[in-house]
């Protein structure tokens, strides 16, 4: 959760920076167009439309803290529409009998086409970025390229060569980055999945699939670091487990451990934690019932002892219980619970003792 929040904050701040730069650039472009001798009305209008889009996207990103990618997506769609409008207006104008050259009147929209695709690569999933990139090239880049190829005199000019360079050799590797980005994202996902699996395996007992001792100790340390109170630590040990192994074999003994773990887990409430402490010993970290501090341990004890187990008959366990306070150390809490467990065994087993 914390990692996701950090990623969302980073994405949001990056998007706000991009939209701020886009708004400033659009405003400067609008001012520069006003210095032209005979600017086309659309050339005067488009920069300020872009300024409004970028400013609106900046505000939306600030207000909608968790919807940054949606804002970026809508901004890119609006940009494609704005660029397509340039092609729709200026290409027929340049193809008219007495019209001006496209290289003379077409606004500097092609760098915006490249910038828009870089934004899509940075913020959107690779497949969606590729689709938007292809769409923008089809509605803007391809028509301009066809016009230049059909008008060699315009292509021979410096502006025509620059436009062709932006549409082809520059745009192609940018779109080629998207499959590479997709592969990198896939590999990172696999690495995170493998890391999570390795961490899970490291924290689990392979026989019972409960927390192991190391994971349980870390859990208790975390709870104490959070200064949590109102907790109890329960240690319990299967009575005469060596006798079960000697009489029925270690395979049956393993089955008993799994069955005891399942019965103990069924007696717990949500938020309680059960671990295999080692051998035939288990540990529980749970909330303390306000009026009955031994109620949970008694419930686990009864769940284990009341019904016979297959192949071995009745199995019982002894319990040591202690309250855990925020001022405790893990070692002190475990020592108290272990002493209570020892007294439970000394006093006849199959019982619960409070430290």
Q: Which residues are catalytic?
A: 280
30, 41 in Cβ contact below 8 A?
Answer: no
Q: Cα 202 to the chain's mean position, in Å?
A: 22
Q: What is the 8-class DSSP label of residue 308?
A: P
Strand-pair category, 352-354 with 281-287? unpaired
Give the span between the Cα atoms of 160 and 130, in whole angstroms.
26
- No. of helices (H) and no. of strands (E), the chain: 15, 5
Give the CA radius of gyration of the chain: 35
Cα 70 to Cα 11, 77, 125, 255: the distances in Å are 12, 11, 11, 52
Q: Which two tokens stand for residue 342?
A: 């020892």
Give the span between the Cα atoms of 105 and 90, in whole angstroms.
7
**Helix (H/G/I), strand (E/B), else coil: 242:** helix
86, 109 in Cβ contact below 8 A?
Answer: yes
Question: Three-state SS across 67-117?
Answer: CHHHHHHHHHHHHHHHHHHHHHHHHHHHHCCCCCCHHHHCCCCHHHHHHHH
Helices (H), the chain: 2-33, 41-63, 68-95, 102-105, 110-123, 126-136, 142-150, 152-155, 158-165, 171-203, 213-225, 241-248, 250-266, 295-305, 330-346
Strand-pair category, 281-287 with 273-278? antiparallel
Locate the DSSP E strands across 88-238: 231-238
């Amino acid at each position: 959760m914390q990692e996701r929040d950090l990623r969302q904050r980073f994405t949001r701040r990056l998007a706000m920076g991009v939209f701020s730069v886009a708004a400033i650039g659009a405003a400067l472009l609008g001012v520069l167009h006003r210095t032209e001798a005979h600017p086309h009305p659309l050339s005067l209008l488009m920069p300020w439309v872009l300024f409004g889009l970028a400013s609106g996207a900046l505000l939306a990103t600030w207000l909608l803290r968790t919807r940054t990618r949606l804002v970026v997506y809508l901004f890119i769609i609006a940009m494609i529409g704005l660029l397509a409008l340039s092609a729709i207006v200026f290409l027929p104008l340049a193809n008219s009998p007495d019209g001006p050259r496209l290289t003379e009147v077409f606004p500097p929209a092609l760098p915006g086409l490249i910038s828009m695709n870089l934004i899509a690569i940075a913020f959107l999933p690779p497949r969606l970025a590729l689709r938007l990139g292809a769409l923008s090239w089809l509605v803007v880049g391809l028509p301009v390229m066809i016009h230049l190829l059909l008008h060699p005199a315009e292509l021979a000019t410096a502006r025509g060569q620059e436009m062709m360079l932006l549409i082809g050799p520059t745009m192609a590797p940018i779109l080629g980055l998207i499959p590479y980005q997709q592969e990198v994202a896939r590999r990172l996902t696999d690495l995170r999945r493998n890391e999570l699996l390795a961490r899970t395996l490291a924290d689990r007992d392979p026989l019972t699939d409960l927390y192991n001792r190391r994971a349980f100790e870390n859990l208790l340390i975390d709870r104490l670091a959070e200064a949590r109170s109102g907790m109890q630590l329960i240690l319990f040990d299967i009575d005469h487990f060596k006798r079960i192994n000697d009489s029925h074999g270690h395979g049956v003994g393993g089955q008993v451990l799994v069955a005891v773990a399942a019965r103990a887990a069924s007696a717990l409430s949500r938020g309680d934690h059960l671990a295999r402490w080692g051998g035939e010993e288990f540990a529980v970290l749970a909330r303390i019932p306000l009026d009955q501090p031994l109620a949970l341990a008694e419930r686990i004890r009864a769940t284990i002892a009341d019904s016979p187990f297959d192949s071995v008959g009745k199995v019982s366990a002894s319990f040591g219980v202690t309250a855990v306070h925020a001022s405790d150390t893990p070692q002190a809490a475990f020592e108290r619970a272990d002493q209570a467990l020892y007294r439970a065994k000394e006093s006849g087993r199959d019982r619960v003792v409070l430290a």
